[in-house]
């Protein structure tokens, strides 16, 4: 294709398709937004893999915002082996999570990894789970090389200990059960055909007629003793906890069906209701499967192991560095944390000249931390500037941050279903009707009495009721995913419908995280000097320095290796390099006069650029959402920052519902206090510091700019652009309760019709075989259509 060999002149990056910054070489093609993208492009060209760009011209991942991780510790085989699913001398198999996977071209590129790196034998991508299974030969390459290559081409792996459990084992068991139930259901129906056509009486006399009954019985055994075991177990668990769950009347109905059928077949009086039994189980299992849907590409159960490094560098007595697993780090070990790495344990700094620690990931707020020897540091901070040396005071599992996870951990969700009281009343009514029927018939006709009573139990089996909630909630859960709201389970919808208090974290949740600063070039002829500023600012942990560094890196600049700048606390940075004087800081620090306050960068006293701080801006739609929510319940704002001087937030929140200087623990306690006074709380946050509050709240919702990126453990992940829809989503969840109520009403109506046959002792297998699937299918249709119509009405916006 010619356009690959000579791409048209355009101002977007040839690799990632993002806008290119102004280039020093206008007209040069292909254009790149940064040198990282250029590297990948060249690498792919060298290996004859330009077709990557044919699949999607902007398929690549931008390399601009990407900070390279340190994979040195993977050289230590004992550590690398913990990541492998299988390894021996000839082959290693690893499953790596690559959150950057997003499109067809990703699959194409990643599955051609063997072309890029000799020694890689096979690479298989799973798009939905965002994982790649990679097999390589340890004699030719190493896990470190694989990880570094993946990072270089824009797919930095998230390294985590290999999951020893078989992936998806639980789902597979359910699939097997559905297969068995479906097989038996179909074949029992086939054998029931003479009965359906009214030939049962005649066939009973023949050999075939006599063979059919035992045949059906044989086919029903796997249904009852394999496919349906889950319902027996759930009913038993419920009873042991002193609760009547919906599984109980279902199990009673199944046993009545089976017992009655065995009695009829053994006595030669009929062929029983085994088709209905198998159909029941089949439909109910499909309901369970539908409900078990999760957004596999998102992870709602991140814990600290996923965020913290697996390996750390320990200095032994002789001063040598060795890579060890963080789990093996003990108190009083001496660790070296390199720039860019995350501190794995709490400790005390031994040496840290000029080093800084960035806690923004833990606290979510951009506060600066100065470092000094003897100072306590906490796990979760990222070392910036220089390497830190620290003595461990608490092992990783006991660290301050871990307490956030330990507290407020919630048990898994129960499956959705009708309220407990309804189940109790229903079960009681069924037994009462069965008893009355029995007493009514017993005097005149004992045989009919038994038959009618058992028929009542059979026909009242609440299969349809059990299907209503899974299909209604499951459908809405899928549809909400389209609207940018990803819920961890269908039961979250029910809890969302009940919340009446709303708590928001500030930074990153209500305001855009990246728009607080603006960079202005004052002398663009000196842009060539700007990379030095980037290098200087990287040494500093001051938020302004970080903002300048981020802005320069976003322009595609690369920092040269310089010496560390001198830092004057609160004023600025100063560096003499290659005969020139570079300064970054306040106007008076830079020697500039008559200029508005701001942060400036100068070369030899001449201003090159200025950093302005813009006022915070709410995310789109949030203003209206806040107003609407405040009509539903109290809306609180929690922030770890100091209160702003301009009372920005008082336009949106009543003053007594604004809380500043909140630590992760006080946030959690705040939510607990609200719950104690009877409120049901929706917590919306984004940082790791919100984890405790997110877990404690009735619903914890994490806001994410990029759904594939890290988000703390929560019940729901919402795409940041869609936060404004929150009131509509809550409304839909509340309205969905009406859909399930209508479905329950219909199911009860079917039950009443069936019961009228049953109490009169006239329930024939054919009536049962028609009524039961008909009711189940009606309910499934009503529940899923209802959920869809609600979504269309409240949330569907064409083109959004």
Residue 716 contacts residue 483 (beta carbons within 8 Å):
no
Give min distance, CB of 107 to other proteins, in A.
Answer: 5
Cα distances from 683 to residues 89, 344, 414, 728, in angstroms, run: 50, 28, 21, 17
Alpha-carbon distance 171 to 88, whole Å? 29
Tell me the sheet residues that pair with 610: 520, 600
Q: Which of 74, 80, 125, 150 binds other proteins (CB under 8 A)?
A: 125
Using rule CB under 8 A, residue 1 touches other proteins: no
Q: Which residues contact 800 (CB under 8 A, 6 or more apart)?
A: none
**Binders of other proteins in range 45-64 (CB under 8 A):** 48-49, 51, 55
Residue 766: closest CA among 242, 194, 319: 194
Q: Which of 11, 78, 179, 237 binds other proteins (CB under 8 A)?
A: 179
Q: Which of 56, 119, 183, 574 binds other proteins (CB under 8 A)?
A: 183
Helices (H), 84-156: 104-111, 113-116, 143-152
Using rule CB under 8 A, residue 3 touches other proteins: no
3-state secondary structure (DSSP) of residue 716: strand
Residues 541-580, mask of contacts with other proteins (x by CB under 8 A): ----------------------------------------
Q: How many Cβ atoms are within 10 Å of 707's Cβ, its own excluded?
A: 18
Number of residues that bind other proteins (CB under 8 A): 35
Using rule CB under 8 A, residue 107 touches other proteins: yes
Q: Which of 112, 367, 368, 741 binds other proteins (CB under 8 A)?
A: 112
Q: Which of 72, 126, 306, 705 binds other proteins (CB under 8 A)?
A: 126
Q: Which stretch binds other proteins (CB under 8 A): 101-109, 570-578, 627-635, 678-686?
A: 101-109
Using rule CB under 8 A, residue 98 touches other proteins: no
Using rule CB under 8 A, residue 175 touches other proteins: yes
- Of all helices (H) and strands (E), which one includes residue 482? helix 463-482
Q: Which of 191, 310, 534, 743 binds other proteins (CB under 8 A)?
A: 191
- Tally of CA atoms within 13 A in the half-sphere of 57 that contains its CB: 14
Using rule CB under 8 A, residue 596 touches other proteins: no
Token digits of residue 766: 């054919």
Using rule CB under 8 A, residue 393 touches other proteins: no
Residue 707: closest CA among 715, 716, 699, 717: 717
Q: Which stretch binds other proteins (CB under 8 A): 30-38, 206-214, 565-573, 631-639?
A: 206-214
ω into residue 539 within 30 of 0, thus cis?
no
Give min distance, CB of 11 to other proteins, in A.
Answer: 28
Q: Which stretch binds other proteins (CB under 8 A): 108-116, 266-274, 566-574, 750-758?
A: 108-116
Alpha-carbon distance 356 to 375, whole Å? 12
Residue 542: closest CA among 520, 517, 578: 517
First-to-last C-alpha distance (Å) of the chain: 34
Residue 34: closest CA among 65, 77, 2: 65
Burial of 795: CB neighbours in 10 Å, binned 0-12, 13-18, 19+: buried
Alpha-carbon distance 265 to 275, whole Å? 13
**Closer of 206 and 520 to other proteins (Cβ):** 206
Using rule CB under 8 A, residue 294 touches other proteins: no
Using rule CB under 8 A, residue 115 touches other proteins: yes
Q: Which stretch binds other proteins (CB under 8 A): 66-74, 167-175, 306-314, 573-581?
A: 167-175
Using rule CB under 8 A, residue 111 touches other proteins: yes
Q: Which of 65, 68, 172, 627 binds other proteins (CB under 8 A)?
A: 172
Using rule CB under 8 A, residue 207 touches other proteins: yes
Give min distance, CB of 178 to other proteins, in A.
Answer: 9
Using rule CB under 8 A, residue 211 touches other proteins: yes
Using rule CB under 8 A, residue 206 touches other proteins: yes
Residues 694-713, mask of contacts with other proteins (x by CB under 8 A): --------------------
Burial of 66: CB neighbours in 10 Å, binned 0-12, 13-18, 19+: middle
Give min distance, CB of 149 to other proteins, in A.
Answer: 17
Give min distance, CB of 172 to other proteins, in A.
Answer: 5
What is the 8-class DSSP label of residue 188? Answer: H
Residues that bind other proteins (CB under 8 A): 48-49, 51, 55, 104, 107-108, 111-112, 114-115, 124-129, 167-168, 171-172, 175-176, 179-180, 183, 186-187, 190-191, 206-208, 211, 215
């Amino acid at each position: 294709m010619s356009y690959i060999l000579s791409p048209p002149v355009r101002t977007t990056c040839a690799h990632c398709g993002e806008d290119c910054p102004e280039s020093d070489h206008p007209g040069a093609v292909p254009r790149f937004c940064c040198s990282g993208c250029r590297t990948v492009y060249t690498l792919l060209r060298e290996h004859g893999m330009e077709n990557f760009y044919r699949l999607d011209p902007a398929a690549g991942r931008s390399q601009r915002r990407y900070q390279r991780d340190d994979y040195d510790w993977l050289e230590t085989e004992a550590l690398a082996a913990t990541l492998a699913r299988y390894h021996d001398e000839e082959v290693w198999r690893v499953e790596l999570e690559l959150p950057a996977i997003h499109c067809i071209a990703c699959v194409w590129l990643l599955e051609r990894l063997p072309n890029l790196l000799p020694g890689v034998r096979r690479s298989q991508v799973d798009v939905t789970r965002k994982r790649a299974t990679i097999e390589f030969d340890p004699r030719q390459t190493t896990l470190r090389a694989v990880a570094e290559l993946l990072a270089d081409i824009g797919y930095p792996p998230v390294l985590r200990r290999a999951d020893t459990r078989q992936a998806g084992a639980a789902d597979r068991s359910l699939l097997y059960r559905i297969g068995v139930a479906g097989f038996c259901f179909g074949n029992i129906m086939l054998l029931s055909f003479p009965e359906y056509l009214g030939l049962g009486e005649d066939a009973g006399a023949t050999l075939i007629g006599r063979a059919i009954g035992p045949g059906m019985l044989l086919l029903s055994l796997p249904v009852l003793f394999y496919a349906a075991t889950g319902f027996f177990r759930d009913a038993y668990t419920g009873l042991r906890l002193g609760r009547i769950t919906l599984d109980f009347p279902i199990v009673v109905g199944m046993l009545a069906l089976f017992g009655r059928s065995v009695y009829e077949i053994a006595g030669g009086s009929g062929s029983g209701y085994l088709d209905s039994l198998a159909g029941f189980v089949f439909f109910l299992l499909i309901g369970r499967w539908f409900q078990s849907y999760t957004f596999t590409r998102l992870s709602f159960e991140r814990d600290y192991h996923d965020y913290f490094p697996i390996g750390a560098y320990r200095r032994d007595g002789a001063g040598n560095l060795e890579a060890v697993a963080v789990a093996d780090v003990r108190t009083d070990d001496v660790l070296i944390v390199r720039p860019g790495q995350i501190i794995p344990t709490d400790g005390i700094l031994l040496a840290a000249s000029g080093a800084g620690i960035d806690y923004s990931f833990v606290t979510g707020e951009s506060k600066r931390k100065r470092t000094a020897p003897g100072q306590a540091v906490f796990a979760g901070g990222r070392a910036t500037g220089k390497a830190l040396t620290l003595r461990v005071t608490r092992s990783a599992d006991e660290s301050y941050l871990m307490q956030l996870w330990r507290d407020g951990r919630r048990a898994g969700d129960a499956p959705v279903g009708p309220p407990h009281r309804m189940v109790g009343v229903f079960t009681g009514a069924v037994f009462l009707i069965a008893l009355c029927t029995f007493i009514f018939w017993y005097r005149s006709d004992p045989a009919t009495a038994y038959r009618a009573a058992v028929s009542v139990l059979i026909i009242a089996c609440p299969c349809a009721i059990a299907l209503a909630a899974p299909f209604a909630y499951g459908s809405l859960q899928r549809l909400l995913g389209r609207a940018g709201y990803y819920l961890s389970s269908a039961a979250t919808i029910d809890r969302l419908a009940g919340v009446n208090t709303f708590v928001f974290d500030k930074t990153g949740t209500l305001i855009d995280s990246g728009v607080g600063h603006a960079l202005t070039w004052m002398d663009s002829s000196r842009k060539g000097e700007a990379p030095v500023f980037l290098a200087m600012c990287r040494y500093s942990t001051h938020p302004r320095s970080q903002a300048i560094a981020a802005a320069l890196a976003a322009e595609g600049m690369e920092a040269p290796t310089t010496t560390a700048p001198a830092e004057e606390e609160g004023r600025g940075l100063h560096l003499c390099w290659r005969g020139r004087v570079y300064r970054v800081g306040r106007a008076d620090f830079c020697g500039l006069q008559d200029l508005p306050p701001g942060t400036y960068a100068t070369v030899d006293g001449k201003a090159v650029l200025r950093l302005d701080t813009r006022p915070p801006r709410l995310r789109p739609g949030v203003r209206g959402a806040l107003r609407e929510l405040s009509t539903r319940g109290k809306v609180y704002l929690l922030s770890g920052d100091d209160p702003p001087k301009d009372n920005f937030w008082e336009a949106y929140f009543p003053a007594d519902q604004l809380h500043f200087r909140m630590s992760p623990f006080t946030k959690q306690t705040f939510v607990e206090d609200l719950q104690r006074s009877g409120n049901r709380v929706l917590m919306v946050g984004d940082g790791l510091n919100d984890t405790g509050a997110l877990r404690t709240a009735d619903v914890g919702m994490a806001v994410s700019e990029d759904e594939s990126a890290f988000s703390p453990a929560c019940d729901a992940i919402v795409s940041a652009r869609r936060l404004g829809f929150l009131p509509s989503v809550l409304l839909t969840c509340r309205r969905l309760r009406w859909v399930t109520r209508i479905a329950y009403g219909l199911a009860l109506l079917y039950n009443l019709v069936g019961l009228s046959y049953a109490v009169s002792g006239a329930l024939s297998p054919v009536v049962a075989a028609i009524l039961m699937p008909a009711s189940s299918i009606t309910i499934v249709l009503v529940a899923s259509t209802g959920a869809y119509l609600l979504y269309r009405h409240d949330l569907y916006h064409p083109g959004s």
